[in-house]
A and B are shown apart, each in its own frame.
Chain A
């Protein structure tokens, strides 16, 4: 099996699974219980929080555990809107955001909030000048993802953060779900107030994630209940999940430097060789893109069909993002980049992990070339 769909999800590390099982079976106390079992669970949770915070160079009190990227994004956006609506009702986001950001914004729009969508250039990149031009007196939040999940474009987070320093009442949210372990982010220096993480994108488990909330930033909670996580995220804490996430993050960071270099080599091999295939266009920009994502379109080849063809030979990749691939709509990101409809319709995404090799890349390149050739024959006949 060659698994090239790591932006959809990663395979959990075995060590991470071991931790999850051990915590779930041996330290199953509720961290809110007063007795010793509760204390043990609370200690584990605190240690997980401290480890995650240390790895991200922030304070433990700035890490809030959630159920994953979608919840973190929703909490950041709606939480800001609920808490700060009296200051203003204007929100800014890029036109290439993940559906969980876009969807949360659309929901707020129906509640009377005003949304500005920032355009992206042909590389899928947001421009700082556009952020500046969109800012109004009643703007309360700017949300821009760090690494685009579909094409891998790295957004100018540091520059936007620098700009927003001049507007202390505007919160800056960054969806870093695709960036962790691939593109370093400096939350403090870049002036980020809120940042979303999801464990299953770095070999942790699904259903676990975190939101960084800068000290002093106030959010309205989405869930009412027992006031866990400093009243921001009620619900009995997922202790085993948090421990597993802390471990996955540590292992990912430890492997980081070598792993990123390795992914870069595999990606540039893929980029060079795939570009030689007839009618294949690379959509991922050469500059400012994450080392693990490569998006391309093959003219005249229906993406879904090629995916299934490759699957038969044990190769797994994806059509744009997994989250929207069942909707059968062309990728919003590619359209925002100005990719024509038909090419956006036949887009593929390869996404790597530290474990993928150049040998795997060579096999995949051949398989895509062969598959595309075959399919194009059939499809052309079909069209006739």
Chain B
């Protein structure tokens, strides 16, 4: 079937009242980025829906890309027909024919928002249902559970026909809810936390703490690969690599072992908060999961959170590990996360970290040494990478070898 357009339904955006235009613009931007490899397409964003005009590009491939975009409730490949009964009949028939397999059933779902159209909904049912029954021998009507559901939408400007309704990713368009910093460790949880926050429309920049030679180039590669996966959603993503060795070494020297983890986390949060301020973000996202490790008890979080007033988003806090793993597999980050390299959270782990640290105690221990210059230095020396998703067209350092 030669579909000439793909109809995109907004879902949640449509409840946004006065902000709707902003949301639609963000979604349009997401669609444009996701479909960058189809130069001939045109995007028409209207108040209630968006159309991608195909212009000869591959419809299946376009649909595949659209399915991952947040803010799309559902989509349908469709054809546009003029308000002419003969033309409409032919289009309806060829659409059903293109999908029909022997023994299948169909129904017609008319929707008429143009009340001046010559047929009412039962008239549309009758006219087109009858025409299809006459012209496809063996096809039957089933209004409850049809194999083919032909939607005929009569709008004021034209008529759209479609047979398939494909579920989108839901959520809100990325960037419609502001920006936040994601603390990306390389484990299973933090990429999932980033993904779920992006699904609610938040644009994210990732922050990773890197401690050479205690952690290797490979652990950095791993984080870059994770960022690449998340970057697929928005077309690109910033990744801040914080040099953390000096701070970790000095914590090891200055802070009692059972409190070193708490202090480490406090400093990470402070540095992330500085970066957030520089990048004009509004929140920090972590992959914390209640009770999973010593730093993720409520007592720990209370002591760590002491260093900032910035909202900390913890989308995984109350989830079960198995559910987190399931999402990680769905978004393709799991296999990257389980690569076995040391990261900054595992290398200096004390043998028995405090699971119930006291805020006052950690403040006391930190008071003997001026960490501020070290923290400022780490912030200044932070390397910022712009990560683009892996794609077949993208050149790599070894490109000539492949």
Tell whether, in the assembled complex, residue B335 and residue A50 are in contact, meaning their CB atoms are under 8 Å apart: no
Which residue of B has the minimal Cβ distance to A48? B402
Q: Which residue of B lies closest to A44 (CB)?
A: B398
B392 lies within 8 A of chain A by Cβ = yes
**CB proximity to B under 8 Å, residues A1-53:** 19, 22-23, 34, 36, 39, 42-44, 47-48, 50-51
Contact of B398 with A250 in the complex, beta carbons under 8 Å: no
A39 touches B402 (CB 8 A): no
Contact B401 A23 (CB under 8 A): yes
Q: Which residues of A contact B402 (CB under 8 A)?
A: 19, 47-48, 51, 243, 246-247, 250
Answer yes or no: A61 CB below 8 A from chain B CBs.
Answer: yes
CB of B380 within 8 A of chain A?
no
For residue B217, CB closer than 8 A to chain A, the reply is yes
Residue of A23, A42, A43 with highest tally of chain B CB at under 10 A: A43
Count of chain A residues with Cβ under 8 Å from any Cβ of B?
A: 19
Cβ B398 vs Cβ A47 within 8 A:
yes
B216 at the interface (CB under 8 A from A): yes
CB-based nearest B residue for A34: B216
What does DSSP make chain B's interface, helix, strand, loop or mixed?
loop
- Tell me the nearest residue of chain A to B218, going by C-beta: A39
Complex interface residues of chain B between 375 and 402 (CB less than 8 A to chain A): 390, 392, 396, 398, 401-402
B280 contacts chain A at the CB level, 8 A cutoff? no
| Minimum CB distance partner of A240 in chain B | B401
Contacts of B218 in A (CB 8 A): 34, 39, 42
Judged by a CB distance under 8 angstroms, whether B25 is at the interface is no
Give the distance in Å from the alpha carbon of A19 to the alpha carbon of B402 in the complex.
Answer: 7
Nearest CB of B to A52, in Å: 10
Q: A43 — which chain B residues lie within 8 A by C-beta?
A: 221, 398
Number of interface residues of B (CB under 8 A): 11
Residues of B within 8 A of A313 (CB): none
Instruction: Judge whether A236 is part of the interface by a CB distance below 8 angstroms.
Output: no
Q: Which residues of chain B (203-224) have a CB below 8 Å from chain A?
A: 216-218, 221
B396 to chain A, nearest CB (A): 7
CA of A19 to CA of B392, assembled, Å: 19
State whether A39 touches B398 (Cβ < 8 A).
no
Residue pair A44, B392 in contact (C-beta under 8 Å): no
CA distance A44 to B402 in the complex (A): 9
Most buried by B among A36, A47, A51: A47
In angstroms, how far is the closest chain A Cβ from the Cβ of B378? 24
Q: A350 CA to B398 CA in the complex, in Å? A: 37
Query: Are B401 and A44 touching (Cβ within 8 A)?
Result: yes
- A contact residues around B221 at 8 Å (CB): 39, 43
* Residue in A closest to B390 when the chains form the complex, CB atoms: A50
Q: Which of B216, B217, B392, B401 contacts A247 (CB 8 A)?
A: B401
Verify if A54 is at the interface (C-beta below 8 Å from B): yes
Given contacts A54-B392, A61-B335, contact A19 B217 (CB under 8 A): no
- Which positions 36-93 of chain B face chain A at CB distance < 8 Å? none
Question: How far is the CB of B58 from the nearest CB of chain A, in Å?
Answer: 14
CA of A43 to CA of B217, assembled, Å = 12
**In the bound complex, CA of A50 to CA of B390 (Å):** 10
Q: List 12 A-B contacts (CB under 8 A).
A: A23-B401, A34-B218, A36-B217, A39-B217, A43-B398, A44-B398, A44-B401, A48-B402, A50-B390, A61-B335, A246-B402, A247-B401
Closest 10 pairs between A and B when the two form their complex, measured CB to CB? A19-B401, A247-B402, A243-B401, A39-B217, A246-B402, A51-B402, A61-B335, A39-B218, A44-B398, A23-B401
Given A43-B221, A243-B398, 8 more A-B residue pairs with CB atoms under 8 Å apart are A19-B401, A22-B401, A34-B216, A43-B398, A44-B401, A50-B390, A54-B392, A246-B402
